[in-house]
């Protein structure tokens, strides 16, 4: 494909050239011209054009042999683009790892919440049981106080009856009892 032709655009006479099919914007960059200039040269018949299988317009460009290396260098990824892609991959991996950590933290938090909720439920049940026990004991105390009050009242009546009977029995015998005979003290 190397020829000594001088009819292609952008090539100086007498220099070897290479013919390459490229897109209009690549041709403009390789020839140092605008895309409008490339379109005008195609319309004037100074550049050959074809439609590729993917539907894009391609232009046949004759480049000096020296530029062939530059075109290939542009076609391969530069170290900065490789670094950018590497950084992008690193960021994606970091984001994925962070997502996994966040997910794990959320699962752990949910498990802790469920455990705490179960503990609160058990404590609530215990508090209810203790409250019911307190109420039962309060009623027993009230009942015991009432029973004690009734017993004291009945005891007082019994003492009065005993005092009355003792006084009557002593009166029949003729002795005068003191005021505290029924209590056991004289």
Final residue of a structural domain among 20, 51, 76: 76
Quote the pLDDT of residue 6: 35
Please indicate, yes or no, whether residues 82 and 147 belong to a single structural domain of this protein.
yes
Asked whether residue 93 is domain-assigned, the answer is yes
The pLDDT mean for the chain works out to 80
| pTM of this structure | 0.35
Q: What is the pLDDT confidence band of residue 66, given thresholds at 50, 70 and 90?
A: low
| DSSP state, residue 186 | -
Per DSSP, the three-state class of 127 is helix
Domain that holds residue 36: 2-76
Please indicate, yes or no, whether residues 16 and 72 belong to a single structural domain of this protein.
yes
Asked whether residue 139 is domain-assigned, the answer is yes
Please indicate, yes or no, whether residues 25 and 88 belong to a single structural domain of this protein.
no
23 forms bridges with which residues in the sheet? 58
Q: Identify whether the C-beta of residue 95 lies closer than 8 Å to the C-beta of residue 44.
A: no
Please indicate, yes or no, whether residues 19 and 53 belong to a single structural domain of this protein.
yes
Final residue of a structural domain among 61, 76, 91: 76
CA distance linking residue 100 with residue 94, whole number of Å: 10
Q: Return the higher-pLDDT residue of 75 and 59.
A: 59
Quote the pLDDT of residue 29: 86
Asked whether residue 178 is domain-assigned, the answer is no
| DSSP per-residue letters across 41-68 | HHHHTSSEEEE-TTS-EEEEEEEEHHHH
CA distance linking residue 117 with residue 148, whole number of Å: 46
Quote the pLDDT of residue 55: 86
Please indicate, yes or no, whether residues 82 and 139 belong to a single structural domain of this protein.
yes
Asked whether residue 183 is domain-assigned, the answer is no
CA distance linking residue 111 with residue 103, whole number of Å: 12
Please indicate, yes or no, whether residues 69 and 135 belong to a single structural domain of this protein.
no
Q: Return the higher-pLDDT residue of 73 and 130.
A: 130
Quote the pLDDT of residue 67: 45
Asked whether residue 161 is domain-assigned, the answer is no
Quote the pLDDT of residue 111: 94
DSSP element (H, E) containing 17: strand 17-23
Please indicate, yes or no, whether residues 66 and 135 belong to a single structural domain of this protein.
no
Quote the pLDDT of residue 184: 53
Domain count, the chain: 2
Quote the pLDDT of residue 125: 92
Average pLDDT over residues 57-62: 88
Average pLDDT over residues 60-68: 69
Quote the pLDDT of residue 160: 93
Final residue of a structural domain among 76, 106, 141: 76
Please indicate, yes or no, whether residues 72 and 115 belong to a single structural domain of this protein.
no
CA distance linking residue 40 with residue 48, whole number of Å: 12
């Amino acid at each position: 494909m190397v020829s000594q032709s001088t009819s292609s655009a952008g090539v100086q006479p007498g220099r070897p050239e290479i013919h390459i099919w490229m897109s209009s914007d690549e041709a403009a960059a390789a020839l140092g011209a605008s895309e409008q200039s490339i379109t005008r040269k195609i319309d004037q018949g100074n550049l050959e054009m074809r439609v590729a299988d993917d539907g894009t317009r391609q232009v046949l460009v004759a480049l000096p042999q020296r530029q062939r290396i530059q075109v290939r260098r542009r076609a391969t990824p530069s170290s900065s683009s490789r670094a950018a892609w590497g950084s992008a991959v690193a960021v994606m991996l970091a984001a994925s790892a962070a997502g996994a950590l966040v997910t794990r933290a959320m699962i752990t938090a949910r498990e802790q919440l469920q455990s705490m909720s179960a503990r609160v439920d058990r404590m609530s049940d215990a508090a209810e049981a203790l409250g019911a026990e307190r109420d039962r004991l309060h009623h027993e105390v009230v009942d015991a106080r009432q029973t004690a009050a009734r017993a004291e009242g009945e005891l007082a009546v019994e003492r009065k009856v005993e005092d009355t009977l003792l006084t009557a029995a002593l009166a029949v015998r003729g002795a005068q009892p003191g005021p505290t005979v029924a209590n056991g003290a004289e």
